[in-house]
Structure 1
């Protein structure tokens, strides 16, 4: 049962050939009446849906809708308060099924769940040794673009590189069912397309995939079936085409020229005041001696009466400061203007 990464393009394999008798006909995942409560807050409220074998099922919903809690219950990381869970034909709530499901189920957590001290290749090689028929770790690192950082400690990897390494850890054991909790979160566009191509290849090879996302574009691009969750309940379910609907067709019909309506009249601009919008206040002209304003009603009335403008009052002359010349003695060279005659200072022997 080779992993699609080790097979040529177009080849396929039966992922359910190692399943027990009667389990191959059952869906990959069946959730019925699932309930989960944290204190007084009910996060999952009677949720029910199924995921077909060999298909990619997307669990879509906003943040806080209960997607991660539902997936963690299906992975066995949380114990539900009610309902039933069936994974690959086995009862998820029975402890006897844990050992069998660990071999056949791959898990990618939202926060990665990776150790930080080891190097990237060491982590993937260690997980590969825990499985009977693992995939080639180096080939998986190359497919996800992690060859250049294979010897880098996990703590020094970027967020997108950790996401891709967590995806490689989930796929290295050749699982029949893979749970992926927002696998494209934090990825750049190039890495997101590489992850999408890998998921399509796994689905075409027969691997069942259940992923959570809050992006409708991702669900529409990858999923065969979409389950929409909101407030812990399933609000819609179906294929992407059924949920999105047919594309809209908009028809625009132009009216004849005679039947066209005239454009609406523009309202008159508001009358400007003394102050412009966003500008400084206009200065008023200075007052004239007769109490009027220059260019105002007083000047217009004088023009009509033929009288001349009254003369302005004469201004007093300005005073100028005159500095007195220094005395003649201060003009001698070597003498300061403020100093007196020189005196001899006796010097002691």
Structure 2
């Protein structure tokens, strides 16, 4: 007889799971169908984001400049120490040879006990502390041994100093590489964003940049503010000869510059050595907090972390290397966050 059992009904839990999954699938399909592609940024929005990336790249660039300067300084110091160690080792060898010749001559003439040969070892310190042996030495030998002791200590200290500086150099090189990569990443991101623009939009931005550069030289009114000193005037005059030179991160001239590269180069032309980075230049002279007290050639420090610097040009204008994509030019100080001026004496 045929079976007439009713089909097994799905459990309440299974029905609930299936229903929820189906609903989710429908909702996902609806959302996917209705989702609009991400909106393209406008030219103005792209410019704002690119400018921000350029500023961040400049911040990293100043850190890179500082690490590079420290690396160069450490390399010079290590080279000097190594030269000193080499010369010191030669002096030590001469002292040992002299003592050896002296002891040998005395031994051959029967004027010294064979135990004195122990002083020819590489570590005479152990024997100088033994009074029973000292009475067998001449005053000349004692003095020679003390010279050897002093020279050994001096060489040990210099070698230890070189070792520490080599460790510092290694960490500085690591920091240098990281900051270099950070700058390159920021600039690559900016280029990628810039390339989302159409050819027409790119041309419009380029025209705006060119107009800003031209107007900074053709129409700027610098007034008649005096220079802070004859050297400040010379530095400012040197920087003026570089108007129109491209910004290049890490560059110190004479044809391309970053911000602190321009100011340090300009003062070097006036015979004045100032630090390489904007952060260090912030402490290179007397600070001027009131803008009305600024004089032509004063350094102008911008932003809270001191990552940008230029030269005061008069009438509220700064002469500076702004950022990637721009050239050395005049610009209103009000376009940036002024911190203080620095007068180089």
Q: Same fold (TM over 0.5)?
A: no
Q: Which structure shows the bigger proportion of residues in strand conformation?
A: 1
Q: Which of 1 and 2 has greater Rg?
A: 1
TM-score by length of 2: 0.20
Larger helix proportion, structure 1 or 2?
A: 2
